[in-house]
C-alpha cells in the first residue's frame, strides 16, 4: 500500500525563519518608537518566536498570539476580519482563535503559500499592522 492521496506536504516557516521575521519586526517597532509584543507562528498556528518589549502591556501577549494565529488560519490579514466585524459579521466572534483586530498578517512565500503568521500588539491597529508587514517582508527577502 502506498501513501498516495493519503498524505500531503506542508511548507512552514522554520525556527530560524521565525527569528528573522521577529528581528525585522522588532527593528521596525523600534524605528517607530513602539513598545510591542510580537508573535510568529508556523503554518499550523503554533508559536515559534515571541518577544515582548519592556514597557509593553501584559495584555499584548495574548493579543499578538491571537492575531498571528488568525492570520495563518484564515490566510488573510486580521484587518480583513476587523472590517467584516464592523460591517456586522458578529458571527466571527464565535471562534476562539479569531482576532478581528488589525495587526496580524500571514507569512507568504512564492506568492501563495502561507507558511506562518505574525501578530503585533501594543500600538494602534495601523501601527501594529505596519510592524507586522515589515516582519513578514523579511521572509520574502530570505
**What are 28-56's pLDDT values in tens digits?**
999 999 999 999 999 999 999 999 999 99
Quick check: 82 and 125 in contact, CB under 8 A? yes
Count other Cβ atoms within 10 Å, centred on residue 44. Answer: 11
- pLDDT of 3 higher than 90: no
Mean pLDDT of all residues belonging to the chain:
93
pLDDT digits (tens, 9 = 90+) for 64-105: 999 999 999 999 999 998 888 888 888 878 887 778 899 999
Cell 512565500 locates to 109
CATH topology of domain 15-141: Beta-Lactamase (3.30.450)
Write down the pLDDT at residue 1.
Answer: 53
d(C-alpha 83, C-alpha 11), whole Å = 29
Write down the pLDDT at residue 2.
Answer: 61
d(C-alpha 73, C-alpha 18), whole Å = 17
d(C-alpha 21, C-alpha 1), whole Å = 41
List the chain domain ranges: 15-141
Please tell me the pTM assigned to this model. 0.92
What's the chain's Rg over C-alpha atoms? Answer: 15
**Cα 127 to the chain's mean position, in Å?**
14
Q: Which letter does DSSP use for residue 105 in this model?
A: E
d(C-alpha 32, C-alpha 129), whole Å = 12
Amino acid at each position: 500500500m502506498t501513501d498516495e492521496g493519503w498524505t500531503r506536504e506542508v511548507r512552514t516557516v522554520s525556527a530560524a525563519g521565525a527569528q528573522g521575521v521577529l528581528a525585522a519586526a522588532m527593528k521596525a517597532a523600534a524605528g517607530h518608537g513602539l513598545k510591542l509584543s510580537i508573535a510568529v507562528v508556523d503554518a499550523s498556528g503554533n508559536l515559534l518566536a515571541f518577544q515582548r518589549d519592556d514597557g509593553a502591556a501584559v495584555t499584548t501577549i495574548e493579543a499578538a498570539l491571537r492575531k498571528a494565529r488568525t492570520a495563518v488560519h484564515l490566510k488573510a490579514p486580521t484587518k480583513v476580519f476587523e472590517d467584516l466585524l464592523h460591517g456586522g459579521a458578529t458571527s466571527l466572534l464565535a471562534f476562539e482563535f479569531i482576532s478581528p483586530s488589525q495587526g496580524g498578517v500571514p507569512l507568504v512565500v512564492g506568492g501563495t503559500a502561507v507558511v506562518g503568521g505574525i501578530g503585533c500588539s501594543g500600538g494602534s491597529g495601523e501601527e501594529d499592522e505596519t510592524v507586522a508587514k515589515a516582519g513578514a517582508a523579511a521572509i520574502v527577502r530570505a
